[in-house]
Structure 1
Amino acid sequence: MQKAIIQLETLTCPSCIQKIENAVKSLEGVDKESVNVLFNSSKVKLNFDEEKLSIETVESAITALGYEVKKSQVRLK
């Protein structure tokens, strides 16, 4: 498993959190219990299985919702 922290553009509404959380949790290979969208810092934290999923796929799912990904950090859990 790998741990990712994804920095997003500033989130402006609490409903954004739910949209992003649902999109990330729906991806195959994401540890659903680990997904945490932080409104104040505009970050998404999650654990994922790098054999089933790449960080680029997670970023694409977020970008598809209309949120800009500023940067991502990935490290082994």
Structure 2
Amino acid sequence: MAAAAGDGAIPRVDEVDPHDIGVSRSKYSDLRDGAPYVSAPQDDQLDAYLAEERFVVLAGRSKAGSPAPCTRRCCGRCPAPG
């Protein structure tokens, strides 16, 4: 997992390798732009929750695909400071 700048802060979602938080590696994982993302029916609902709430918990069965859409959506909604 990517470490914060040595200040003990929790890293931003865009600073964390998705594989460190549960996204399974695939044969596409080492591509420069990462593995291609296949959208799921619940993506729109997740977008709606993220638009309204500061904290969202996404839970699912193993290999159900929870970490990948969550990190992708959060990175898209939370631009880097600066």
Instruction: Please report the TM-score for the alignment, with normalisation by the length of structure 1.
Output: 0.28
Higher share of residues assigned strand:
1
Please tell me whether Structure 1 or Structure 2 has the larger radius of gyration of its CA atoms. 2
Greater RCO, CA 8 A, separation 6+? 1
